[in-house]
Amino acid sequence: MLLNHLLKTAALLSAVLLTSCQKEATEAITPGKQVTVFEHGAVIGAATTKTIGAEGGTLATADGRVALTIPAGAVAKATEFSIQPVENTLPGARSESFRLLPEGTTFAKPLTLRLSYANLPLEGTVPEALFLAYQNASGQYRLVTKTTLNTTEKTLTVTTTHFSDWQVCEYYRVVADRTTLKAGEKALLKLQQIGNLEIIDGVEIGLVDSVWKDYPGKDGEKMTWELDGEGKLAPAGTVCTYTAPNQTPAKNPVFVNFTFSNFQYDTDPATGEITGRSPMKMIFPVPIEIVTEQYLKFTFDDQTFDINGDCATGCITGEFDGKFFLRATAPNRRVLDITIKDFPGRKGQYVFDKDLAALEFSMGPGSKVYAAMYSGCQSPYNTVNSDGAIQITQWAAKPGEYVEGNFKTILYPNGECGQGGKAITCKFRVKRLR
């Protein structure tokens, strides 16, 4: 089993989930413990809908990220099924949630739900630490330990007899207090576990008290920290301090790798078989970028541009007086413009089609111009990972301070949605001059 905390209770778990949303709302937990309650997420996109009868069938989103298989006999008559994207209210979540409808229906046979994690950012975690979780009618989250992982297809699968809001959730992660450092600066990294946990009815894991907790480690577990790149490490069990080198390294970013191994196995007392997933080693890579005083680094169509403003690697100019305009000029006259119209002068998330944020990238004179021009084709609802929005993470209130931010989206030729889109990711730190 993946988790030492779960291993001690794995023999109690069954493969059958709770049978109705009504039961979810009244589940008992240990006296004195309270499962954290969160607001349900708002609807953020169009639903995928299909009518399926007693013969069974499959409903899947157009992008293949979510698929629901209804076996023959699960429903007695034609029923309209829907997959509705909603906001994910679980702190630290890596993607949106999906609301399965009709809610409150009791199915005669378990349905199979499959979510893809292929497009999720996995910095600080690994596929073996991923599970599916759902939010019940009371707003409580449950992590389903009986989640099947397929690393070849990059999918997570469960069977369920109830409908709720479902999402991908990791159990372990390694976090750094800073992932962008100047020469000589330090970052603190640590292993975390998703909250204090409580077995609910011997079936699933409820998140008790809070969500993310620093993991102290247990006897028999082996933990090592290793550095792939320049700098120094000072490991201390589940925490580690990284010190950046005195100059920008040739290999950048560097990676701090945390290896977690020597998990204890648990077996089913009836069959003697190992229950759940049982990796004996997990390696969590954490990238840390070493930067100069100011920088703008972006990758477009798998080509990376690393600009520090010296006009040898590329020039950076910005206007932040009552507006937001940032231009990076790379060699061969390649130009990236970042604009937020009617900028309010504060950090936050600025969505392309709602806040009139815009990106424009020219590959050089006579080349195509790729852009995101105030349009909705950048999936603005999936902003938790910066898709469809420019994130301003630090705002310079006065000259001499720094503006920091990032984005990740798709640019289209001439800004027109359709064919020919290319991926772009970017992060920047630029000094405000006036």
pLDDT band at 34 (very low <50, low <70, confident <90, very high): low
Q: What is the pLDDT of residues 305-322, one digit of tens each?
A: 988 877 877 899 999 887
DSSP per residue over 233-296, as a string? EEEETTEEEEE--SS--SS-SEEEEEEEE-PPP-B-TTT-PBPS---SEEEEEEEEEEE-SSEE
Do 222 and 127 fall within a single domain? no
Count: domains in the chain: 3
Q: DSSP letter at 288?
A: E
Tokens standing for residue 11? 């023999």
Do 148 and 185 fall within a single domain? no
Residue 20 has pLDDT above 80, yes or no: no
Ranked by mean pLDDT, the top range of 5-14, 255-264, 354-363 is 354-363
Does 276 fall in a domain? yes
Do 273 and 411 fall within a single domain? no
pLDDT band at 91 (very low <50, low <70, confident <90, very high): confident
User: E strands of 356-416, at which residues?
Assistant: 357-362, 369-373, 389-394, 402-413
Pair 415, 406: CB distance under 8 Å: no
In the chain, DSSP finds a helix count (H) and a strand count (E) of 2, 33
Residue 13 has pLDDT above 50, yes or no: no
The more confident residue out of 356 and 20 is 356
Question: How far apart (Å, rounded) are the C-alpha atoms in residues 78 and 222?
Answer: 53
Do 131 and 182 fall within a single domain? no
Percent of the chain with pLDDT over 70: 80
Do 418 and 374 fall within a single domain? yes
Does 24 fall in a domain? yes
Does 343 fall in a domain? yes
Chain-centre distance for alpha carbon 350 = 19
Question: How far apart (Å, rounded) are the C-alpha atoms in residues 26 and 52?
Answer: 30
Angle at 157 between CA 80 and CA 207, to 5 degrees: 95
Residue 219, class by beta-carbon neighbours within 10 Å (0-12 exposed, 13-18 middle, 19+ buried)?
exposed
Give the residue from 8, 422, 394 showing the smallest Cα distance to 199: 8
The more confident residue out of 420 and 233 is 233
Please provide the average confidence, as pLDDT, over all residues in the chain: 81
Residue ranges of the alpha helices (H) in 176-256? none
Question: How far apart (Å, rounded) are the C-alpha atoms in residues 390 and 421?
Answer: 18
Q: What is the domain-level CATH number for residue 72?
A: 2.60.220.30
Do 131 and 183 fall within a single domain? no
Give the residue from 90, 170, 162 showing the smallest Cα distance to 126: 170
Specify which residues 93 forms β-bridges with.
Answer: none
Question: Where a domain ends, among 291, 324, 358?
Answer: 291
Question: Residue range 118-139: average pLDDT?
Answer: 87
Q: Do you know the residue count of the chain?
A: 434
Do 320 and 279 fall within a single domain? no
Do 301 and 351 fall within a single domain? yes
Do 152 and 17 fall within a single domain? yes
Residue 18 has pLDDT above 60, yes or no: no
Question: How far apart (Å, rounded) are the C-alpha atoms in residues 287 and 123?
Answer: 7
Question: Residue range 342-359: average pLDDT?
Answer: 85
The whole domain housing 239 covers 174-191+213-291
Does 286 fall in a domain? yes
The single residue listed with the structure tokens 């989206």 is 409
In Å, how far are 30, 155, 386 from 391, measured between CA atoms? Answer: 41, 28, 7
Q: Is 14 left (phi over 0), alpha (psi -120 to 50) or beta?
A: beta
Residue 182 backbone phi and psi in degrees, to 5? -85, 165
Residue 197 has pLDDT above 80, yes or no: no
Do 302 and 270 fall within a single domain? no
Burial annotation 222-245 (CB, 10 A radius, 16+ → b, else e):
ebebebebbbeeebeebbbbbebe
Tokens standing for residue 314? 């590329």
Pair 193, 210: CB distance under 8 Å: no
Question: Where a domain ends, among 240, 265, 291?
Answer: 291
Question: How far apart (Å, rounded) are the C-alpha atoms in residues 200 and 216?
Answer: 23
Q: What is the pLDDT of residue 265?
A: 44
Pair 30, 74: CB distance under 8 Å: no
Tokens standing for residue 387? 């898709």
In Å, how far are 90, 159, 267, 275, 318 from 3, measured between CA atoms? Answer: 20, 21, 14, 12, 48
In Å, how far are 132, 173, 216, 238, 284 from 192, measured between CA atoms? Answer: 18, 5, 8, 8, 12
Sign of the dihedral defined by the CA atoms of residues 92, 14, 57, 138, in that order: negative
Do 321 and 278 fall within a single domain? no
Q: Is 414 left (phi over 0), alpha (psi -120 to 50) or beta?
A: left
The more confident residue out of 412 and 201 is 412
The residues, any chain, with a CB within 8 Å of residue 366's CB and separated by 6 or more, are none
Do 35 and 94 fall within a single domain? yes
